[in-house]
Every structure is written in structure tokens, then in C-alpha cells.
Amino acid sequence: MTRRPAVLIVDDVPSEVVVLGEVLARQCEVLFATRGTEALDLARRTQPDLVILDVVMPGMDGFEVCRRIKADPRLAPIPVIFLTVQSGEGDECAGLGLGAVDYLAKSTPPALIEARVRNHLRLKALFEQQSALVAELRAALGARARSRHPSLCAWCHRVDTGGKGWELAPIQPQSAFTVCPDCLRELLA
């Protein structure tokens, strides 16, 4: 069974949290906080998949909460969406400049908020999949580099000459297939 994504809603107005929570409960687990410090503590404990954050809050405002989320290496990958009454161009630029993935006005229709959340959750899941595949590929490449058989790039068909670079050479039956650094950079670009 697949885990439902968790979304942390942060707003100092409880009725706003309830309304948005009802909209999002169909697609995810909903967590909430009404203060910035509470949101940071909850985010550290639960590692939500996405944070929806109001800008205007007493004490620590949403911009500072976002700044602290993005400064914490464990929380930085979590996408942040600002949902606020402050919808001026300068505010939006400031929020996106802090690392938020989206900036919406509180007047945005619920169906559109739900679609944006779904899209950002999907993008986060794809990024996590890609990161896992890259780590797996790097581990496999490291294991092959340590093997005694010559490594052959599966894309460009060059052979690792053992520290002297990669050269075109005939395929040998005992070759270990890998991806050379040039092809890997091109694949990940």
C-alpha cells in the first residue's frame, strides 16, 4: 500500500486551515500549525511532502518560516507554496526568491489549489525517484570501476583504460558494461 503524501498547512486563522484541509484531505494526509515556530517543529518531526504557508502571521511570518525551512538541509527539499492575501508582485517575487515553488492568492478557487498541490507532489515524487536512480547508478558505476574486467560504456562503446581516459576499443566478452562520465553527464542533463 502506498503512503498518502502529507501536507502541512500553516495559517494563524484556524478557519482557513479547516477549509483548505477539507479540500486536500481527499488526496493527502493533512497536518496543520497556526504559528511559525510550531510549523518548524512539526516539519522537523514529520517531514511533510509539501508545506502550504501563509505570509502574514504574528511572531514569525511566513517568509521567515520558508527561509528557515530552506536553510535546514533535512527540510530544504520540501516544496513550499505560499497561499496568502499578500499578492503584490513584490511579495510574490520575495516568496519565490526564498525558494517557494508557487505563490497563490487566498482567493484562488479550491479546485485550482488542489490541482497545484497534486502537481507539486507529483514533481517531488519524480525528483525523489530520479535521485534514487542516480544514487543507484553511481553505486553500480563505483562497483564496476572496482572490478578487474575492463569497463565498456553502453552508449558510446568506449573502454575505460584504467585512469588514462576512455578510448574506442573492441568489445571483449568479459567487459563490464557501464556509462562513461561524458555519457552520464549528457544523460543527466
Which tens digits make up the pLDDT trace of 69-125? 999 999 999 999 999 887 778 888 999 999 999 999 888 999 999 999 999 999 999
Q: What average pLDDT does this structure show over 31-48?
A: 96
What pLDDT does residue 38 have? 96
pLDDT (0 to 100) of residue 159:
74
Q: Which carries the bigger pLDDT value, residue 31 or residue 184?
A: 31
137 vs 177: CA distance, rounded Å: 12
Burial classification of residue 141, based on how many CB atoms lie within 10 Å of its CB (0-12 exposed, 13-18 middle, 19 or more buried): middle
Q: What is the gyration radius of the CA atoms in the chain, in angstroms?
A: 23
Report the pLDDT value the prediction gives residue 184, as an integer from 0 to 100: 79
CATH numbers and ranges of domains, the chain: 6-129 (3.40.50.2300), 147-188 (no CATH)
